[in-house]
Structure formats: C-alpha cells, structure tokens
Amino acid sequence: MTLSLQDISDRLEIQDLLVAYGYAMEGHDWDALDAVFTADAVIDYTDLHGTRGDVATTKQFMQALANRPREAQYLVATSRLQIDGDSAQSRTIGRHPCLIDRGGPVPHVMFCGIWYNDEFVRTSEGWRIKERVVERFYYHNVPPELAFLEAPHLAEGCACQAMTAG
C-alpha cells in the first residue's frame, strides 16, 4: 500500500495525539486533555471500573485518582488505524506499569494492559479524539486493596468511589 503525504501526515498527527494523552496523564496535566479530545467527546472507562462522560467528567475522575499514592506510565504501542477523510478509527495497545505506595520502603508494582478504541475527527485545530472506549485486557500483581479491579463488573459508582477514596 502506497501512502500519500497527507496519509503519512494524518497518521503521524494521530500518533502524536495518542502520545499527548499519555504525557498529560503522567504529568497530571488535566487541561492538556482539552487538546486531545473534542469538546463534546465521550470517554468511557467503565470496563476499568471508571467513569463514562465528557472531558470535564474525565478530568475530575483522573484528579481524584491522582490524589491516591501512586504513579503510572502510559505506554502506547501498536495502533491499527483506519482513516477515511476527516474521520478515523483506531485500536491501540496500552501498557501501564503502576507504582503504588503501600506505606513500605518499596512501592508495589502493578501492571495494566488495555486497549484504547478511539474515534477521531479532524478539526480546525487538528485531529482530536471524539470517542474513547477503554477495554481492559489484563491486570497483573493487583494489591489486595484494589482487588475489586479484577472483578468483571460492580455496582455503578462503587468502584469509582473505592478508587478515588483516600
């Protein structure tokens, strides 16, 4: 398959957008998410026992998570990307090692593998994510206080409250 210069540019811009999300999350720079998502984006973390909502809802949820004693890297890998004019879809691998402070001398290391299922739109400011559905693939080495993460589904709101408490 031969790609045009526009195809190459679009792919690079979308890849940069995926990376910008990771840096915003790692840096707890929630306002940077405004340059990643459209103003009317729908962002769904329910498969991870999180929220489903707009950018403001996502910022509030991520801020509450950031108040917990932990750090994570947001690594994105292979994306299967399909571009159709001013819209695109992708499925991207996410690998997130997390360091969780449990009060001891060494943080607890947990790993999270996910899929980002995204719909993009070209805007006057460049490509933006208009819908993101995060799909859990695996958790590894989950500490006991977060064992609910391994449960398939919980009552709505229950997990979010447990994740953001403390």
The amino acid present at 45, given as its one-letter code, is Y
Q: In terms of C-beta density within 10 A (0-12 exposed, 13-18 middle, 19 or more buried), how is residue 79 classed?
A: middle
DSSP-assigned letter for residue 54: -
Q: Write the CA distances from 95 to 22, 29, 57, 107, 149, integer angstroms.
A: 11, 20, 23, 18, 16
pLDDT band at 162 (very low <50, low <70, confident <90, very high): very low
At the top level of CATH, the class of 5-164 is: alpha beta
User: How far is the first Cα of the chain from the last one, in angstroms, to the nearest whole number?
Assistant: 52
DSSP-assigned letter for residue 86: T
DSSP-assigned letter for residue 152: S
Domain assignments of the chain as residue spans, ordered by start: 5-164
Contact 76, 19 (CB under 8 A): yes
pTM, 2 dp: 0.86
pLDDT tens per residue, range 15-50: 999 999 999 998 999 999 999 999 999 999 999 888
Q: In terms of C-beta density within 10 A (0-12 exposed, 13-18 middle, 19 or more buried), how is residue 113 classed?
A: middle
pLDDT tens per residue, range 96-143: 998 988 888 999 999 999 999 999 999 999 999 999 999 999 999 988
3-state class (DSSP) for residue 30: helix
pLDDT band at 164 (very low <50, low <70, confident <90, very high): very low
Tell me which of 88 and 162 has the higher pLDDT.
88
DSSP-assigned letter for residue 131: E
pLDDT band at 161 (very low <50, low <70, confident <90, very high): very low
d(C-alpha 139, C-alpha 152), whole Å: 12
